[in-house]
Copies of this chain bind each other. A is one copy, B any other.
C-alpha cells in the first residue's frame, strides 16, 4: 500500500512544484512591484487562509460629517486574496439624512444591496438620461462602469448597504473633492463648468481646496 500511495502522490504532485500554487490564485504581495494586472503574487508557501478573509463589514466605516455617509472597503488592499480576481465588496452606511455625493468609479461597475431603510439611488448616462429609483430592504441597483451616480437616505432610519464592484480595487472620483478639494485653479473651474466664481470660492472653503 505504501508504494501505491507513493505512486499516486508522485504522479500528481509532479504537477505541483515550481510555483504551481500561483495558478489557483495570486495573493497580493504588497512589498513587490505592481503591474497593470495588479499586485505581484505572494510566495504560495506563505499563503494562509487569512489571506482570503476580512473582518468588520458588520460595522459602519467612519462617517463624513457633511454627508452623513460612511464607507468601509474589502478590496485587494484589505483582502490580499482578491488580487487579480476582478471584483470586491464594501459596506456603505447612510445615517438619517445621508447623501452619497455624486461620484464615479473610473474602473468599476457597482451593484448595491439595501439591507435596511429606504434609499434612492441614481446614475446619469452619457446621454444625460437619469436612471433613479427608490429602493427598500432587499432591493439591488446596478451602476455601469464610469458613470456618475449618487444616493440619499430618504427614510427616517439608518440604511446599511452592501456594495459590490467589478474591480479588485475600485477607484473613486468624487465630483466635489475633484473640483473643490484639489488645487485646481478657481478660474479653470469657473470656465470649464460655468459654476460662478463666488460659488467656487464658497465650495473650496467647505472642502478645503486651494488654487
Contacts and interface: CB of A to CB of B under 8 A. Distances in A.
A144 B24 contact: yes
A36 to B, nearest CB: 3
When all copies of this chain in the complex are counted, the total is 6
Given A40-B33, A208-B5, A106 B124 contact: no
A64 B7 contact: yes
A35 to B, nearest CB: 4
A104 to B, nearest CB: 6
A192 B63 contact: no
Given A58-B137, A87-B87, A148-B173, A36 B41 contact: yes
A83 B145 CA distance: 12
Interface residues of A, number: 142
Contact of A172 (B26, B83, B126): B126
B66 A4 contact: yes
A164 to B, nearest CB: 4
Contacts of A23: 107, 126, 167, 169-171
A15 B169 CA distance: 10
Contact of A18 (B30, B35, B144, B194): B30
Given A8-B65, A164-B87, A49 B133 contact: yes
A73 to B, nearest CB: 6
Interface in A80-129: 81-89, 99-102, 104-107, 109, 111, 113, 115, 122-129
Interface in A121-163: 122-133, 135, 137-148, 150, 152, 162
B19 A34 contact: yes
A62 B147 CA distance: 25
B21 A125 contact: yes
A125 B24 contact: yes
B145 A107 contact: yes
A75 to B, nearest CB: 9
